[in-house]
Amino acid sequence: MATTKSIQKDTYIDHKGRRIRRMTFEQRAELRRNFTASLPLWRHPLIGYLLSILLVGLFGWGQQALDGWIGGGGIYFAGSLLLLPVLFIATFWGTMPSLFTVLLGALYIDYFFIGYNQGISWQHWEDGLRILPFFISGITIAIITAQRERARWQTLIAEQELKEYAAELEVSNQKLEDANQTKDRFLSIASHELKTPITTIRGQAQLALRRLAKQDGEMNVSDMHTALERINEQTVRLTTLIEELLDVSSLRTGKTALNKRKLNINELCQQVVDDQKLLTGRHIELKLPPKEVMVSVDRDRIEQVLINLVGNAVKYSPEGSVVQICVERKWRKALIHVRDHGKGIAPDQLEKVFDTFYRTPDAEASTKKGLGLGLSISKEIIERHEGRIWCESQLGQGSEFFVELPLK
C-alpha cells in the first residue's frame, strides 16, 4: 500500500488520504501466525524442508543419469536440473525452505559432480566456479520469492489495517449517533421541564388578572397571596432547573474550571453532615477515620456532590430511618460511602440513575420532587477529578452510593 505522508509514529495517511493506524509488532506477529495457521498442512515449512531433501536427491540422480546419457560437461552448467526443486519449493513453501534447497543442491553438486563421489572438497578454484551458476540462479530465485512474500505481506497488513480503520469508523459513527439521540432526548425533556412551570406561572397570573378585573379594582388579598405563592414556587423551580442545566452543559463542555485545593475530606464531610442535620432534622451518622484524608479537589464542587448524595439519601428513605456516611482511606484513594435504608434501586436502574433527567419509576410515582439532574452533575464533577462514582443497592434494603477520589 502506497503511503504518501507519515504523520505520527503509529498512524499514516494512505494514498486516498485516509488516516490509518499502523499495526504494532505484536499485531503483525499475530497476523503472521493466523496466516500460517490458515495454510493447508502440506504447505507447512517443515514439509518444504523435508521435501527439498527428497527432490534434491531425485533431481540430482536425474542429473547424473542425464550427464551419463549425453556425455556431461561442456554444454550446460553443473546441476542445472537441480534448479527445478528450488523453483518448486520456492513457489509453495517460500524463501527459507528454497534457500535450504539451494544449500542442499550445492552440496549435492559438490559431492557428486565436482568431487566425483569422493567427498565435499575443492581441488582447484575452478571447482568452485563450476558450482557458481547453480548457486547464483538458486539465490536469485530465493530473492525473487522473498520480494513476492514481502509484497504479499504488505498487502495483507494494509488490508488488516483498513479493516481496523473501518471498525473504528463504525464505532465513532455509533457514538455520534448515540450523542445525537441523547441531545434530542435532552432537548425534549428540558423543554418539557421548562414549559411546565411556565404554564403554571401564566395560569396563575391570568387567574389573578381575571379576579382583579371582576372585582373592579378591589383586590382579594388571600387569592392574590395564593397566586403569588404559586408563581414564586414555580419561579424557584425554574431557576433551579436553569441553573442545573447550565451546570450540566458547562461541566460537559469543560467550560467550568476546577479550583483545586488541598483539603481534608473528613472536615468537608463533617460540615455537610452538620448542615444537612440542621436542614432536614434527620438522624445522620458520620464515621471518620482517625487520620486526616487529604485530597486535592474543588471544595465547592465536591461539597455539591456530597450534598446531593446525602440529600437523596434523606429524600428517598423513610423519615425515621438513619442515613450513614463513612470515609475510608483505601490504597491511594479516599472512599466515601453514603448509605440509606430506603426502598433501594432495581439492578437495571443502577447505571441509569447517573443519566441526565433519569428518575426511577418509583421516584416518578412518589411525591418526591426532582429533575433527575443531581447525579449526572455529580458524575461529571467526580470524573473531572479523576475519580469514580457508583451505586450498589438491593431492592427493599436501601442504597449505598460510593465516591472514590485520588489521595493528594
Where does this chain bind ligand ADP (CB under 6 A)?
Answer: 308, 312-313, 316, 340, 342, 345, 353, 358-360, 363, 370-376, 399
Q: Please report how close the Cβ of residue 351 comes to ligand ADP at its closest, in angstroms.
A: 11
Q: Please report how close the Cβ of residue 276 comes to ligand ADP at its closest, in angstroms.
A: 13
| Of residues 255 and 369, the one with the C-beta less far from ligand ADP | 369
Q: Please report how close the Cβ of residue 312 comes to ligand ADP at its closest, in angstroms.
A: 3
Q: Please report how close the Cβ of residue 371 comes to ligand ADP at its closest, in angstroms.
A: 5
Q: Which residue's CB comes closest to ligand ADP?
A: 370
Q: Please report how close the Cβ of residue 275 comes to ligand ADP at its closest, in angstroms.
A: 17
**What count of residues does the chain have?**
408
Q: Which residues pair with 247 in a beta bridge?
A: none
The kind and range of the H/E element at 287 are: strand 284-287
SS3 170: helix
Taking the C-alpha atoms of residue 114 and residue 86, their distance in angstroms, rounded to an integer, is 20
| Of residues 158 and 346, the one with the C-beta less far from ligand ADP | 346
Say if strands 333-339 and 388-393 run parallel, antiparallel, or are unpaired.
Answer: unpaired
Nine-digit cell string for 82: 537441480
Taking the C-alpha atoms of residue 139 and residue 149, their distance in angstroms, rounded to an integer, is 15
DSSP code at position 187: H
| Of residues 193 and 340, the one with the C-beta less far from ligand ADP | 340
Taking the C-alpha atoms of residue 75 and residue 57, their distance in angstroms, rounded to an integer, is 23
| Of residues 15 and 287, the one with the C-beta less far from ligand ADP | 287
Q: Which residues contact 153 (CB under 8 A, 6 or more apart)?
A: 32
Residue entry with cell 451505586: 391
Q: What is the DSSP string of 86-99?
A: HHHHHHHH-HHHHH
| Of residues 234 and 360, the one with the C-beta less far from ligand ADP | 360
Q: Please report how close the Cβ of residue 323 comes to ligand ADP at its closest, in angstroms.
A: 9
| Of residues 109 and 313, the one with the C-beta less far from ligand ADP | 313
Q: Which residues pair with 260 in a beta bridge?
A: 298
| Of residues 98 and 399, the one with the C-beta less far from ligand ADP | 399
Taking the C-alpha atoms of residue 155 and residue 117, their distance in angstroms, rounded to an integer, is 47
Q: Please report how close the Cβ of residue 357 comes to ligand ADP at its closest, in angstroms.
A: 8
